[in-house]
Structure 1
Amino acid sequence: MSPLRILVIAVLLYIGYRLITGGRTKSSRDDTISSDPRKPDEPVQDVLVEDPICHSLVPKQQAIHLKHRGSMVYFCSEECCNTFVAQEGSES
C-alpha cells in the first residue's frame, strides 16, 4: 500500500468520525460549573421582600410573616416582627 493511499484512508476516516460525532468539540464553557443552576427559561422561585422596620431585603420563603389588616407583612427577624406589633399596638 502506498503512503498516498494510507493518507487518503486516514483523511476519510477522520471525516467519517467528524460526521458521526456531529463535528462537536468540547468547549471551555462546558467545563465550567455554572453559578446559576436554573435553566434560562425557568421562572424565578423566590422573590425578595422588604422588612418594614429595618428595610432589609429577605427571601420571601425565609421571611417571618404576619397577617396584618388583610395583607401579609414580611420580616427579617422575630425582633423586627415584635417591634412592628408593638408599634401598631401603640398607634391604635
Structure 2
Amino acid sequence: MIKVLVVLILLYIGYKIVMMFRRVKSQEVKGYRMEDTRPKGEDLVQDPFCRTYVPKSQAYLKEIEGRQQYFCSRECCEKYLSEKK
C-alpha cells in the first residue's frame, strides 16, 4: 500500500514538472518573456555631513550655492549649514 502511495506521489510531482516546462516552452514560442521579478535598483547619494549613503528618493534635498545637495535628514542639513558658516 505504501509503495502505491509513493508511486502516485512521484507521478504527480513528475506531472507538475512536465506541465511547468510545457508552459514555459509555449511562452517562449509565442514570443512572450518571463517578467523580471528582481527588485529594481535605485541610485544612492552620499550625505556631505555624516557621509552615509541614502536612496535618492528618500534623501532630503537642499540647493546650496547653486548645487543640489542630498542629506539623510533635515538635522544633518542644518548641521552642515551651521558648520559651513
Can you give the 5+ residue segments of structure 2 that lack an aligned partner in the other structure?
Answer: 1-18, 25-36
Q: More helix per residue: 1 or 2?
A: 2
State whether structure 2 residue 49 is matched by structure 1 residue 58.
Answer: no
| Alignment deviations for residues 39-91 of structure 1 (CA, whole Å, 9 cap, x no partner) | xxxxx5x31000011111001111001101111000001111010110122xx
Structure 1: 4+ residue segments shifted above 3 A = none
Q: What CA distance in whole angstroms lies between the structure 1 residues aligned with 2:39 and 2:61?
A: 28
Taking structure 1 as the reference length, the TM-score comes to 0.50
What is the identity, as a one-letter code, of the residue corresponding to 2:22?
R
Can you give the 5+ residue segments of structure 1 that lack an aligned partner in the other structure?
Answer: 1-20, 27-33, 39-43
Q: Give the superposed CA RMSD.
A: 2.6
Taking structure 2 as the reference length, the TM-score comes to 0.53
**How many residues matched?**
55
**Aligned pair partner of 1:67 in 45, 63, 66:** 63
